[in-house]
Amino acid sequence: MDLLTALVDKGLRRELPTRDEALAVLATSDDELLDVVAAAGRVRRTWFGRRVKLNYLVNLKSGLCPEDCSYCSQRLGSQAGILKYTWLGPEEAAAAASAGVAGGAKRVCLVASGRGPTDRDVDRVSETIAAIKGRHEDVEVCACLGLLAGGQADRLKAAGADAYNHNLNTSEGTYGSITTTHTYADRVDTVQRAQAAGLSACSGLIAGMGESDADLVDVVFGLRELDPDSVPVNFLIPFEGTPLAKEWNLTPQRCLRILAMVRFVCPDVEVRLAGGREVHLRTMQPLALHLVNSIFLGDYLTSEGQAGQADLDMIADAGFEVEGAETPTLPAHRAAGLCGAHDGGCGSCGDTACAGAHGHGKTASAPAPPAVPAARTDLVAVRRRGAGTDLPPNA
């Protein structure tokens, strides 16, 4: 396919595809799927070899969030039967993190529900970072605490945090239909605060919320412009008791096309396969490793994931290897800070690329909607082990 040849060439040059090209990836047929995976896989291997980075989530504070994000089981008014607990102590959180590190995790992600941290919350997380680094000096620590206020990113950086996660989740045009208690601009501001403090920015999306192909391209192009180091791709887990419980819009094939599109738009970025992979990719998870270079190990915030050993077996069986702590994740040009959003290094502001990056390019006609897949509610399992419980974690 001429399309895939062009996209591979652009990916190897770190050049931004056009919007039409990104939309065309999402519109490819199932007969073309393996060609799409192979093409995006070539880009992935050029920048990341056959390494897979493992990340481990620790939910520091679960449930009872005042925000109304429709996709979230911890949202205001959620009837999902998830674990609810207040802040874990530093040593309890560090013990949970140690389980992930023992399973091979290179990064520990500390997450707390809520609109954003208070200054006291930042103190709590700083103490937790110290406890984790005291046990595992080389582990990367990423904080995910919601919207940041002035000076909080600097304090987290000073406490030893390596990264900060705050996802854009969906396109700016559809954001108001998903969340009303904060805005897309608020999320962009938090990512930029983290970057200004010297934290590695982690920001991604959630697919499967009823969005169009154009919405998916919009949010991924928005991420490219924002230029995070890591882009997690989540697939909606339709929890019963949330507004999106009936949104079963994804097939394994569509998930792979979405991941391929993200890789073509963000060729040299850590693309992480995140929540919902077991629910929507199912037996096709190993194919996704040809597109992403990072996954979460074990369970998620409020849902159970694939067993940690099964993750390790899958990586080995697919011919990949777990990335070691001593190996840099990012390509040298990104690790050296030479690939900012506006330095031209990624083509983000090239002569023709900006037309796509800022939404002024042509839009391909939308393909006919695919048949709605049957809901697999049997695959959604609420987390009942690990942090906040007396049971051992899955890692």
Residues serving a catalytic function are 65, 69, 72, 109, 142, 202, 272
Alpha carbon separation from 315 to 56, 187, 232, 290, 308 (Å, rounded): 16, 33, 18, 10, 11
* Beta carbons of 162 and 200 less than 8 angstroms apart: yes
* Beta carbons of 53 and 329 less than 8 angstroms apart: yes
Q: For residue 49, is it left (φ>0), alpha (ψ between -120 and 50) or beta?
A: left
Where does residue 5 rank: exposed (0-12), middle (13-18), buried (19+ CB within 10 A)? exposed
d(CA 73, CA 70): 8
> What is the token pair recorded at 331?
């390509």
Measured over the CA atoms of residue 199, residue 265, residue 271 and residue 27, the dihedral's sign is: positive
**What SS3 class is residue 61?**
strand
* Beta carbons of 188 and 196 less than 8 angstroms apart: no
- DSSP 8-class letter at 232: E
List 85's β-bridge partners, or say none: 62
Q: What is the total residue count of the chain?
A: 395
* Beta carbons of 255 and 248 less than 8 angstroms apart: no
> What is the token pair recorded at 29?
């047929």
d(CA 339, CA 137): 27
HSE at residue 325, side-chain half, CA atoms within 13 A, is 14
* Beta carbons of 244 and 71 less than 8 angstroms apart: yes
* Beta carbons of 88 and 60 less than 8 angstroms apart: yes
